[in-house]
Structure 1
Amino acid sequence: MRQYIGLIHKEAHSDFGVSFPDFPGAITAGIDLDDARRMAEEALALHIDGLIEDGEALPEPSTLEQVMNNEQNRSAVAILVAVRTEPRQSVRINITLPKDILTEIDAFAAAHGYTRSGFLAQAAKKAINSEAA
């Protein structure tokens, strides 16, 4: 199981954001530190699943020293995020959505470093987890 570094950032009047130096564009957020850590695990797993599904290679994890040598990262809290790198079994489905919603999904996914499938999976998991809480 690989571990990648996640960086937790906090701006005034915002949630706790999490970014991943080894995966530019993969970001998430949580309402508190524990939520940010949970969301980091989910977001990174989904991002990696999308890369594997697309046939892309995973980067080797950066060391903490490499990440913290970048001055922009020094104001963040570094956490280790463990992910399994074997692909989960994917199932192809056919769904129907209004065209304007699909356009919004695709734009959001592209702007945030997700595949369409990865974004929909994360959104579904977030909705399920919020109902379970």
Structure 2
Amino acid sequence: MRYAIVVEKAANNYSAYVPDLPGCIATGDTIEETEREIRVAIEFHIEGMIDDGLPVPPPTSIVQYIEIAA
């Protein structure tokens, strides 16, 4: 499966979340670390859902960039 993630710059680090998996978040000091951590968080989150007998939401979010004239 391929889930979209959102990475945001915070005051002192980066944070990431998965729109299709509410509550699945991770942080890191760099973008690369944050991406590694969110990958682990996604796997852990899905394993927990399966263990709890919950349905795993399919990836449905679409990521696109829109350019505007500034």
Q: TM-score, normalised by structure 1?
A: 0.46
> Paired residue for 1:19, among 17, 20, 27?
17
**Residue 24 of structure 1 aligns to which amino acid in structure 2?**
P
Equivalent position of 1:33 in the other structure: 31
Shift of 1:47: 0.5
* Distance apart, 1:29 and its partner CA: 0.5
Count of residues in correspondence between the two structures: 65
Listed as ranges, the matches of 1:1-133 within 5 Å are 2-11=1-10, 13-65=11-63
Greater CA radius of gyration, 1 or 2? 1
Identity %: 28
Structure 1 consecutive aligned stretches of length 4 or more whose deviation exceeds 6 Å: none
SS in 1 for 2:35: helix
Q: Give the gaps of 5 or more residues in structure 2.
A: none
CA distance in 1, matches of 2:55, 2:33: 28
For structure 1, the 5+ residue unaligned runs are 69-73, 75-133
RMSD of aligned residue pairs (Cα, Å): 1.6
CA distance in 1: counterparts of 2:12 and 2:51, whole angstroms: 33
